[in-house]
Amino acid sequence: MTLKITPITPALGAEISGVDLSAPLSNADFDAVHDALVTHSLLVFRDQDLSPKAQVEFSRRFGPLMIHVLKEALIEDQPEIYKVSNLTEDGKPKGRAYAGQYWHSDLTYEPRPSLGSVLYGVQVPECGGDTLFASTANAYETLSPAMQEFLDGLTAEHHFAHAFRGGSNPAARKGDPLDERPPVNHPIVRTHPESGRKCLFVNEGFTVKINELSASESTNLLAFLCDHMSRPQTVLRHRWQNGDAVLWDNRALVHRAVDDYGDNSPRHMHRTTIEDLAEY
């Protein structure tokens, strides 16, 4: 097979054909995939047959893998796999159902956030359950020079509990897994270590506040930035097919799942998350 790269939108995304991710890629093919990820931020591989082990091995070539804090959603003998699923077995959820119904970049609440993620469609709805992706590089580049200058140097607080509680909750019950990750701070603007593009690094899921601003200033600016990132010109809507593997760059985009399906439409996905070792 010959590897082929076909762009999907001008802002982000490409489909990769001629690649079988169930077997180790040659160095030349992996380098081509890596370069395409840096260029397009999101890659779609159709008609894949990925075991959890094969998905882990492919993902690990980009860097060390991260273990999600919600342990009940992990595969027991392959904890690098986080299950996003509305299926049940013996009355118990097989994974985390209806996850990510808000714009976010995976694991920004970690001291070292994610480089990228691989999501594999084991079983997807015949209709619905799409995922939206938006370029944070394009979002920064389309801000006015004055706004770019204002944002450079600002930092924001990120907290895992924010998406679930609408904000930090110091009175949460003891042992709550949401509290296993304390708040962390990251720059609002980060330079992508490989492409050199500046990218916004805030999201409505995990970003609590902008540290250098008042509460009202922070709330209004975050709302503006999140709206600006998700403009139609910068959004790619991926319609899932069984066997799709989607690799995306968390340093250069945000994403959200679309909750337009119900329990009568099975959606079972496997996700791996790659740690970012770069310094910002």
Q: Chain centroid to CA 221: how far?
A: 22
Cβ(92)–Cβ(272) below 8 Å: no
Secondary structure (3-state) at 68? coil
**22 DSSP assignment:** T
Q: Chain centroid to CA 104: how far?
A: 7
How far CA 60 is from CA of 65, 83, 117, 206, 222, in Å, comes to 6, 17, 11, 25, 33
Catalytic center residues? 104, 106, 255, 271
Strands 131-135 and 235-238: antiparallel
